[in-house]
Structure 1
Amino acid sequence: MDATHDQAGQRPIDRWFASYSDDHRNQTNQHIHVVAVPLILWSVIALLWCIPVADGGLFRPGIWAAMAMFAAWLFYFRASRALGIGMAAVFLAMATLTHVLQQSLGTRGLLVTAIIVFVLAWIAQFVGHSKRYEGRKPSFFTDLRYLLIGPAWVLSKLYRKLGLRW
């Protein structure tokens, strides 16, 4: 038995997705998540990008975001190589977008934009989980690791639409 499968032959990521899906049964809530989760992910990357670094040192703007993305990527790659590759592409696209926005808006403009997106996307998430739609608490209230599972879950939905295995 290898480390990526349990005794029943199921990968841990499959169990994470099954549990996450159980908290996201409502179609409207799922649609909200497909939009809001990537926005939250981008806003966190952008917020980390805005952490100041010393001028002329080894660190450059975005280093804190890059380190966080790398740590998250390791989690995804260990869970599923296919998801790891996809999340690497997502991180690269988000980092590129963040860099371009910082160049055009400045760090302060990027920070304000990231805060606004973060707040609005979380409001959307909680609306999706409200009694009007899902009626279940967000998964991360049970385990903070679900904050990492959400983006991979959204990516897995895209993989399924494209007929790709994860």
Structure 2
Amino acid sequence: MNATADRPIERPIDRWFASYSGDHRNPTNQLIHVICVPAILWSVIALLWCIPSPGSWFRPGLWAGLAMFGAWMFYYRASKPLGFGMLAAFVLLGWFTKYLYDTLGATGLLYTAIGVFVVAWIGQFVGHKIEGRKPSFLTDLTYLLIGPAWVLAKLFRKLGWAY
């Protein structure tokens, strides 16, 4: 779409968010997503944290770090402000995961992450049942990356920050 005096250029992230928002109109479903999407994001990071890496018996965090870096590149390309926001989120989630790993050990972290993952996904599907619409990722797996950015964009809007 070309920019005009009345219409700015629509970015791909804006189209992703418009589509994602169309599947998340119900306020209860939105609230569930604001809670469950970050929980799922953390649980995936924690699950990846528990995967042994090659070249050593166990090097915690390698796979989580690589996944966070890859996701961060996606977010940064989509929107620099959201990219920096997601970078901050990844750093905080990484520190939290390392703390839990150091406190609970690998097995404790693994079981905690599995529990959070299962409960949060149940919450997501309850939210979509309330909404009456299927989850966006069932049409395009990219929406698994869009969800966390959508939640962060809601926070940005609340704070009056442009993304």
TM-score normalised to the size of structure 1? 0.92
Q: CA RMSD in A?
A: 1.4
- Between the two proteins, the alignment pairs up a number of residues equal to 158
Over residues 81-140 of structure 1, what are the superposed CA-to-partner deviations in whole Å (9 max), with x where a residue is unaligned?
00000000000000000000000000000000000000000000000000xx20000000
- Over the matched positions of the two proteins, sequence identity in percent amounts to 67
Cα distance, 1:155 vs structure 2: 0.1
Q: In the alignment, does 2:69 pair up with 1:70? A: yes
List 4+ stretches of structure 1 deviating above 6 A.
none
TM-score normalised to the size of structure 2? 0.93
Give the alignment partner of residue 2 of structure 2, picking from 3, 7, 29.
7
Partner amino acid, structure 1, of 2:73: L
Work out the CA distance in 2 between the residues paired with 1:61 and 1:49: 5
Partner amino acid, structure 2, of 1:28: T
Give the alignment partner of residue 159 of structure 2, picking from 153, 159, 162.
162
Work out the CA distance in 1 between the residues paired with 2:116 and 2:11: 33
Cα distance, 1:152 vs structure 2: 0.1
Aligned ranges for residues 107-118 of structure 1 at < 5 Å?
107-118=106-117
Match of 1:135 in 2: 132
Match of 1:60 in 2: 59
Cα distance, 1:54 vs structure 2: 4.9
Work out the CA distance in 2 between the residues paired with 1:54 and 1:159: 39
Match of 1:3 in 2: none
Match of 2:35 in 1: 35
Q: Tell me, which stretches of 5 or more residues in structure 2 are unaligned? A: 4-8
Work out the CA distance in 2 between the residues paired with 1:165 and 1:22: 21
Work out the CA distance in 2 between the residues paired with 1:40 and 1:158: 18
Partner amino acid, structure 1, of 2:98: H
Work out the CA distance in 1 between the residues paired with 2:47 and 2:56: 21
